[in-house]
Amino acid sequence: MTWQPINVPQRTIMTPGPVEADPRVLRALATPIVGQFDPSFTHIMNEVMEMLRALFQTKNQWAFPINGTSRAGNEAVLASLIEPGDKVLVPIYGRFGHLLVEIAQRYGAEVIELHCEWGEVFEPQLVIDAIQLHEPKIVACVHGETSTGRMQPLQEIGMYCREKGVFFVVDAVASIGGVDVRVDEWCIDACIGGTQKCLSVPAGMAPITFNERVAEVITARKKVEQGIATADDLCDVTTFTPIATNYFDLAMLMDYWSPRRLNHHTESTSMLYALREGVRLALEETLPVRFARHAYHAQALQQGLRAMGLELFGEETHALTCVTCIQIPEGVNGDRVRQFLLTHFGVEIASSFGPLHGKIWRIGTMGYSCRKENVLAVLSALEATLIQHNVRVVRGEAIQATLAFYMATEYATQ
């Protein structure tokens, strides 16, 4: 049997992740491997920490990636903070709130869930009231809920948590690099980002940052694994609860991401090159310009969708600008439409989960995929596909409306 080389089709990826990797990121992935303690590599590690601080808009010392997909970042932070029996409050407004609950429960937390309708977000005062009532140790919240395309305002909640000494953990997986995320200003104690969305890096790393309040708790739970522990690391584990995971133990990871360079795991060298290039691209573009670009192309897309006669889903005031949700017209099989788009146009869009499965489509305008030709491609493909599926749409207007929008604005030439 002869195995053929990998040969994947050319796609226009307009999902909320993974999106198209930036060509510069793909080139960075081809950089030769160096040893993880080679000074040339540890130099890159330090650079990445510095770049992540800028991306997260924080002065925190601790900013580094976890090897693993975005949920690895969620798990590392929650596992390192939670001791069995700790109260964790989770406001849930979509699928990824449930993920925070799932992780927290697996580490023995007593979880208090707050729920609102999918498509809406929480009035901050509601969360504050729940904090007052339940007095949790941690509030864990999603910033940009990819499954519903909504964004939770965080600052008020963060300020209240800080005042009460509650840890505020935020999943900014979908928003980092595409939407403003202000870790310090919003009093976020620990924040997790994603690579495969607005950073246009493949999945496989989760940049995180956390402050000294978090570091203090983690350090107090530090147990270095036998085989690499020194005499100074010896501790009496009957006097405290060590972190319940080795791979996601932030205490050991802090020792790896600092001058000690504790030999904990083998760093994913190539992914670190990729992350570095993805964040370099974001900082080169500058965060304000990048956020404006994401909002701008989403607006262009939405002009076209509305002109086609489609209805958008969700409360507009709290829209996550990089994920546009569309109501699937009555009687239309959403998955069949998506399959047609992929088969005939090479365009990928997403469905959603739970109560929204079969009810909405989601189109991402993220990172490298967030550009004019992609927006125009998805609109024209969608219109033609809907006509093929006997959906009554306004014909020929979508592209014209979006082109008019582009031509009337200064970004038209980009």
Closer residue to ligand PLP (CB): 70 or 369: 70
**Exposed/middle/buried for 244, CB within 10 Å: 0-12, 13-18, 19+?**
middle
- Say how far apart CA 108 and CA 78 lie, in whole Å: 11
- Least distance to ligand PLP, CB of residue 146, Å: 3
Closer residue to ligand PLP (CB): 166 or 198: 198
DSSP state of 412: G
Q: Which residues bind ligand PLP (CB under 6 A)?
A: 17, 69-71, 96, 99, 142, 146, 171, 173-174, 194, 203
DSSP state of 312: B
Pair 275, 201: CB distance under 8 Å: yes
- Least distance to ligand PLP, CB of residue 384, Å: 28
Pair 257, 49: CB distance under 8 Å: yes
- Least distance to ligand PLP, CB of residue 18, Å: 8
- Least distance to ligand PLP, CB of residue 144, Å: 6
Closer residue to ligand PLP (CB): 194 or 304: 194
Closer residue to ligand PLP (CB): 173 or 376: 173
- Least distance to ligand PLP, CB of residue 319, Å: 15
3-class DSSP state for residue 46? helix
Strand pairing report for 360-364 and 323-327? antiparallel
Closer residue to ligand PLP (CB): 63 or 199: 199
- Least distance to ligand PLP, CB of residue 406, Å: 28
DSSP state of 341: I
Here the tokens at position 176 are 């980092």
Rounded to 5°, the CA angle 300-361-195 comes to 75
Q: What share of the chain is helix, strand, coil (3-state, %, to 5)?
A: 45, 15, 40
- Say how far apart CA 73 and CA 82 lie, in whole Å: 14
Beta bridge partners of 407: none
Q: Which residues have CB under 8 Å from 223's CB, separation 6+?
A: 233, 235, 237, 242, 243, 249, 251
Answer yes or no: is 362 a known binding residue.
yes
Cis peptide before 18 (omega within 30 of 0): yes
Closer residue to ligand PLP (CB): 282 or 379: 282
- Least distance to ligand PLP, CB of residue 216, Å: 26
Closer residue to ligand PLP (CB): 69 or 402: 69
Known binding residues: 362
Residues belonging to the binding site for substrate are: 362
